[in-house]
Amino acid sequence: MPKIISSTALRNEYNDVSNWCHDSADAAFVTWNGAGDLAVMSIEAYDDLSARASLYDKLLEGRADVRKGRVRDAREALADLRASLS
């Protein structure tokens, strides 16, 4: 579950927030004057989120290809792949 902290707490307790983000692999939501302002997460969590988003984009492209009939037989595709690797 995300942690909600004020911008003041982020400034004054940066090490604690950083440790929490790394330990939980979740985002900390930072507020400014009581309203949401930022989401802070570890680089590892960001990389994971970014990779997942990229995968979802590729899956959506694949679904669009299927809907448009841009498909080929898996046996043929694998045979072509094997041939290109030889």
Q: Which tens digit of pLDDT belongs to each residue from 58-73?
A: 999 999 999 999 999 9
Instruction: Spell out the domain ranges in the chain.
Output: 3-41, 44-85
What confidence score (pLDDT) does residue 86 get?
Answer: 87
Regions in the chain scoring below 50 on pLDDT: none
Q: Is this model's pTM higher than 0.85 or not? A: no
Distances (CA, A) of 21 to 15, 16, 47, 67: 10, 9, 13, 40
